[in-house]
């Protein structure tokens, strides 16, 4: 009898452990490793059967930000929109990971203020290191003047003042940085 | 011991019954009652402690569709975007209610095809009845040529061919139509 009930607790498919929803908001320069680390986390969370969605550059460009340009106003609208969608997920028990540069502190803080559970992750990397990697060739184009208002080159990046987590991506592997984030989330009762 | 375990099953806050996520996609003329009925459903679902989000006109205009105009392309982008967000919620166990006119069949079917669980609700109402109500005064403006491409007046409305639910909003109260929808959802294992 007791065994049956224990089995019921463990196996009943209609009974699941409730997951804590939150937004894991990456910010940092282009090339700082936001997307790489967030994909690693996406895989790890999926393996733990956690509900998770990654709103990274491609997803956002295709599905959310069409029609927006590069003006300050349009960029702010884009970040607010990502924040709106992330919060819809977070407040319904899902982990929402975002990986936009989100260079402006005021808009990040505005997005934070919408949320109950917001974890800001600063992917900290020197401009030199990010530019040296230049995986997508964007810095080269920006230096050549082919991309206007490029963060770190012709537009400011405002560092977070009190991010929940800072990962120094100049050093170590993306895998190590992902583990650092998971440790923080575990120690702070998010996982 | 057994009683304790039964209590654990019933009361443990970390154990909840898993909810089925789906999108409840309203379509119909302006003034057909989509928004009224969807707000009634929102309240009823919340009272049942179900996870639910309503993406109605105001929410969408403020948070998702800024920067989009009234061209066919922009309207389609808007509907796809609502569908994208609804699906993010639905596939994570949330009820996503949408209440856009969504006049074009092809785009509705495209949104349907993204989903695992999609329930199309046709709020069926004669143009005459919708125009007679004209709660927001939009038909008057459209007839006066002040609103371009207004559905039912100067732009087509394409009825769904096989909606899961049709509610005839010419007759009965919005409360009755909401109950009709809840009955269908219950009988079809969505609730």
A102 is known as an active-site residue: yes
Q: What is the mean pLDDT of residues A180-189?
A: 98
Does B4 contact chain A (CB < 8 Å)? no
**Probe site for chain B from A21, A51, A63, A77 (most B CB atoms < 10 A):** A63
Q: How many domains does chain A have?
A: 1
Domain that holds residue A81: 19-187
How far is the first Cα of chain B from the last one, in angstroms, to the nearest whole number? 33
pLDDT at B117 over 70: yes
Q: Is residue B59 part of a domain?
A: yes
Please report whether residue B42 resides in a domain: yes
DSSP B188: T
- The reply to whether B152 falls in a domain is no
Q: Is residue A1 situated within a structural domain?
A: no
Q: Which CATH number goes with the domain that contains B89?
A: 3.40.50.300
Contacts A2 to B, Cβ<8 Å: 1-2, 5
Beta bridge partners, A121, equal: A26, A165
| Structure-model confidence comparison of residues A98 and A133, the more confident one | A98
Report the alpha-carbon distance of residue A9 to residue A16 in Å, rounded: 9
Cβ distance of B14 and A17 shorter than 8 Å: yes
**Chain B touched by A18 (CB under 8 Å):** yes
pLDDT surpassing 60 at residue B52? yes
Q: Give residue B87's pLDDT.
A: 98
- Where residue B18 falls among pLDDT bands split at 50, 70, 90? confident
Per-residue pLDDT of A77-122, as tens digits, reads: 999 999 999 999 999 999 999 999 999 999 999 999 999 999 999 9
Please check whether residue B68 is in contact with residue B89, taking contact to mean a CB–CB distance below 8 angstroms: no
Cα gap B99→B85, rounded to integer Å? 13
Per-residue pLDDT, A12: 47
Q: What is the value of ipTM here, to two decimals?
A: 0.89
Question: CB neighbours (10 Å) of residue B55?
Answer: 24
Is A49 within a domain?
yes
Q: How confident is the model at residue A16 (pLDDT cuts 50, 70, 90)?
A: low
Please name the helix (run of DSSP H) or strand (run of DSSP E) that holds residue A15, with its range, or none. Answer: strand A15-17
- Segment B179-190, tens digit of pLDDT: 999 999 999 999
Structure token pair of residue A165: 């987590």
Mean pLDDT, chain B, as a whole number?
Answer: 91
Within a domain: B164 = yes
Name the catalytic one among B35, B102, B126, B154: B102
CA distance B1 to chain A (A): 8
Residue A65 inside a domain? The answer is yes
Q: Which H or E element spans position B61?
A: helix B57-63
Q: Does B1 score more than 90 pLDDT?
A: no
Examine residue B58 and state whether it is found in any structural domain, yes or no. yes
Report the alpha-carbon distance of residue B33 to residue B158 in Å, rounded. Answer: 17
Residue given tokens 């550059």 in the structure block: A57
């Amino acid at each position: 009898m007791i065994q049956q009930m224990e089995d019921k607790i463990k196996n009943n498919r209609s009974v699941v452990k409730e997951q804590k929803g939150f937004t894991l908001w990456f910010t940092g320069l282009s090339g700082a490793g936001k997307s790489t680390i967030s994909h690693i986390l996406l895989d790890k969370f999926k393996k733990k059967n956690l509900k998770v969605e990654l709103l990274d550059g491609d997803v956002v460009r295709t599905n959310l930000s069409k029609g927006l340009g590069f003006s300050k106003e349009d960029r702010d609208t884009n970040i607010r929109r990502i924040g709106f969608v992330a919060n819809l997920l977070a407040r319904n028990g899902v982990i929402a990971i975002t990986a936009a540069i989100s260079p402006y502190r005021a808009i990040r803080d505005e997005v934070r203020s919408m949320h109950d559970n917001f974890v800001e992750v600063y992917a900290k990397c020197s401009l030199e290191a990010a530019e040296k990697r230049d995986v997508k060739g964007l810095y080269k184009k920006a230096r050549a003047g082919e991309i206007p208002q490029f963060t770190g080159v012709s537009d400011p990046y405002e560092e977070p003042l009190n991010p929940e987590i800072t990962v120094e991506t100049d050093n170590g592997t993306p895998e190590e940085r992902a583990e650092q984030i998971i440790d923080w989330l575990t120690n702070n009762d998010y996982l």
